Structure 1
Amino acid sequence: MKILIIGNGGREHAIACKISENKNVEKIYCAPGNGGTALMDICENINIMGIDKLKDFALKEQIDLTIVGPEGELVDGIVDVFKKNGLKIFGPDKKASMLEGSKTFSKEFMDRYGVKTAEYKTFLNADDAFNYINTCSYPVVIKADGLANGKGVSICNNYKEAEETIKKFMIDDIFKGSGKKIIIEEFLEGIEASILSITDGKIIVPFISAKDHKQIYDENKGPNTGGMGAIAPNPYVTYEVLEDFNENILKPTLEGIKKEEFDYRGIIFFGVMITKKGVYLLEYNVRLGDPETQVVLPLMDSDLVELIKASLNKELSSFDLKWKNAYSCCVVAVSEGYPGNYKKGFKINIDKKVNSFIAGATFKEGDLLTNGGRIICTYAIENNLADSIDKAYKEMDKVHFHGMYFRKDIGKQY
């Protein structure tokens, strides 16, 4: 098999590592890939961007399967284009991708099918939003309607914070159009959990749960990032939580997918909040999460390529998805200044034996160089959570670059 992976993050490096375990995979193309995939013998990075150019490449090279990492291409309709040209591609169609592409679309979908979620109001006009925050109770959650690289959510504890957020999103337009429409949502107090799942449109099969750590600083302080580390399974996702999730979130979501006639053969990621009043859905993502992928896939005992084939063939009900009886942790190292401005081009000194997934780094003239905000994550799998955390941090001791920063408390508050 020849496989094309679209994306350039740690998630895509983790996907490439997992699918390379399949003996029938002889070549993996990564568009554009990163320094991690560049160092894999089975992989070739290709500097091709844009749906039509990717489609032309897949046709020319007779690609057997395309896996889409990021949400942007899915929302832009890459699945529809590839399928129209007879190409096998893993992911939801453009219509289904709006579950992530628009917060308003997803909240209205939740309302229609009785998915348990927080109360909310949608605003197209900044003045209306300013008037509303004069009367609402705090804290509130303000979300950009469109895609914002995981940074379009702000928890506001008072009027001043809400006013500043609305100004940044709607007036300053920091997300280049994605925040022109916003949602102001009821704040839910509890523990967040990530439940990655796979669907073929007929059933949804949940993966092992995970816990992301979004804020830049220890003790969950500072601005949101794309994710500073993760653990799996999530200690708070108990049997009772899964029963609640299944009944009040998964089942009505599947009903909606069927009734809306989405062509959904791909990943559906449930971001949930575990509260004293039960489990609530915060958001849908229509692709694998980052860095959740980096802790979940190493725990998967089944073959990922065969799992994807079962989804594409609508045969998930007969697939026996197996998991290791273990725990995993990953810790993300970022560039100084992230999630704000940061410099690039610093050499990464790394032990060849370190367990890691590369993200914002390129391979140039024999060296790995920083090329983004989130640079690398180290990970470990052990028989208990504490050992996996300890080992992931010991792995991080083998990585060095100028301005390197990482949180010191990933998984340690549980």
Structure 2
Amino acid sequence: MKVLVIGSGGREHSIVAKLASSTKVSALYAAPGNGGIADLATCVPIDVTAVEELVRFAKEEQIDWTFVGPEIPLLAGVVNAFQQEGLHVFGPTKEAALIEGSKDYAKRFMRTHGIPTAASETFSDAEKAKAYIAEQGAPIVVKADGLAAGKGVVVAQTVEEANEAVESMLVGNQFGQAGSLVVIEEFLEGKEFSLMAFVNGKNVYPLVPARDHKRVYDNDEGPNTGGMGAFAPIPDLKQTVIDEAVSRILKPAASGLAEEKRPFTGVLYAGLIETSNGPKVIEFNARFGDPETQVILPLLENDLLQVMQDVTAGEDPKLKWKDAYATGTVIAASGYPGSYEKQLPIPDLSGLPNDVFCIHAGTERKADGFVSSGGRILFIGSVHHNRAVAVESVKKGLDIFKDNPSFHYRTDIGFGE
């Protein structure tokens, strides 16, 4: 079969790599893809939001299946457009993807369907928001309502910090339309984890949980990013907590979306926190998480294309997992998530150890090697039956970026938490 993957990041490179191992796939395409994806798929220069062009390409090339990676095309209605043309596509409609597209909607949805989450209020007026913050005190969390590439969340340790976040979003227009509403919610204590599932209507098939690291610096310090690394599975996460998250969060979410005439097909992501009162939702996403996908897909034994077909047909994909651990660290441009340079020359990746894998997130291929094209550039990962060995392998893989002022990465991502 011919398969198209929409997107250009590390998540999409991981999806392409997994699909490339399928005996059912005869040709792989990526729109627009990146420098690393080009080793495995034909990259076509179509933007993820160019919905009509994507549909036209899929029809002209007789694409059998399309996998939509990022959230932006989902909310632009790419799945709706493909479905209207009778094309097989894996991902939720824009109506179902609103669970990620609006944090205000997601909060109202969770209240309606009794899904555990932090108490919150939504504001469009900065002064009312600040009055609420003064009433609640700190620490407190301020979130832009819409999509902000993982950077629209401020965990404020003081009232002043929270007020500054409100000011920058509602008055300073930091995130444009995405920040025209802010959700202010209580700060929850506990360890975070990501639990994703393949979903079709009310059918929910959970994946292995992963732990993502959002903060840019070691020891979880500095501003939030799109993710600086991840590992899976999580040794200290009890099965009872996972089971509770599936029964009280993922299944009610899938059922609730179906009841609201927004039936969800694709990958539903729950960003969760393990509190003393059980798991609670921090956020929902309507697609694979990044960088969690980079450690989860290498552990999946199933053929991903077969999984897509089974889930869409309403059949249990019977997911099987390797008895192993996967961990990895993101190589980012210095300055990320603030301003950073692009077109940075990337060191020769042929020097990486044999027991690590390299996923490209923001790269371009030039005649003399790869250069950077984004803030998060590469993901260096390893899979091993022994988790300490997996961590050490990644650390060795990071050595080729050591003492290079163009790049930044965390040195503390692994299984020690």
Equivalent residue, structure 2, for 1:379: 381
Aligned to 1:349: 347
Match of 2:11 in 1: 11
User: With structure 2 as the length reference, what TM-score do the two structures score?
Assistant: 0.96
Instruction: Name the CA distance, whole Å, in 2 between partners of 1:127 and 1:102.
Output: 22
Distance 1:272 1:79 in 2: 26
- Unpaired runs of 5+ residues, structure 2, are none
Identify the match of residue 412 of structure 2 among 401, 404, 409. 409
Q: Is the 8 A contact 2:3 2:64 kept in 1?
A: yes
Question: What is the DSSP-based 3-state SS (H/G/I as helix, E as strand, rest coil) of the residue aligned with 1:346?
Answer: coil
**Whole-angstrom CA distance in 2 between matches of 1:165 and 1:211:** 26
> What letter is aligned with 1:376?
L
CA distance in 2, matches of 1:399, 1:405: 8
Match of 2:322 among 304, 307, 324: 324
Q: Does 1:270 align with 2:273?
A: no
Number of residue equivalences: 410
Please list, as runs of the form range in 1=range in 2, the aligned pairs for 1:14-413 lying within 5 A after superposition.
14-40=14-40, 43-49=41-47, 50-315=50-315, 317=316, 319-352=317-350, 354=352, 355-399=357-401, 403-411=406-414, 413=416
Aligned identity (percent) is 40
Following superposition, the deviation at residue 402 of structure 1 comes to 5.3
| 3-state secondary structure, aligned to 2:178 | coil
The CA deviation at 1:399 is 4.8
Alignment partner of 1:92: what SS?
coil
Amino acid across the alignment from 2:95: K
CA RMSD of aligned residues (A): 1.3
SS at match of 1:307: helix
Counterpart contact for 2:195–2:270, Cα < 8 Å = yes
Deviation at 1:202, TM superposition (A): 3.0
Distance 1:366 1:86, change over 3 A: farther
Give distance in 1, aligned partners of 2:247 and 2:20: 36
State how far apart, in whole Å, the 1-side matches of 2:86 and 2:351 are: 41
Task: Answer with 363-372 or 246-255: which moved more.
Answer: 246-255
Question: Which 4+ residue blocks in structure 1 deviate beyond 6 angstroms?
Answer: none
Post-superposition offset of 1:412: 5.1
Q: Offset at 1:154?
A: 0.7
Q: Equivalents in 2 of 1:372, 1:70: separation in Å? A: 15
Contact kept? 2:209, 2:232, Cα under 8 Å: yes
CA distance in 1, matches of 2:390, 2:192: 20
Q: What one-letter code is carried by the residue in structure 1 that aligns with 2:263?
A: D
- Partners of 2:395 and 2:176 in 1: how far apart? 37
Contact 2:14 2:293 in 1 (8 A): yes
Conserved 8 A contact 1:191-1:236: no
Tell me by how many angstroms 1:175 deviates: 1.0
1:111-144 deviation digits (Å, cap 9, x = unpaired) = 1111011110010111211221221122111111
- Which residues of structure 1 form unaligned runs of 5+? none
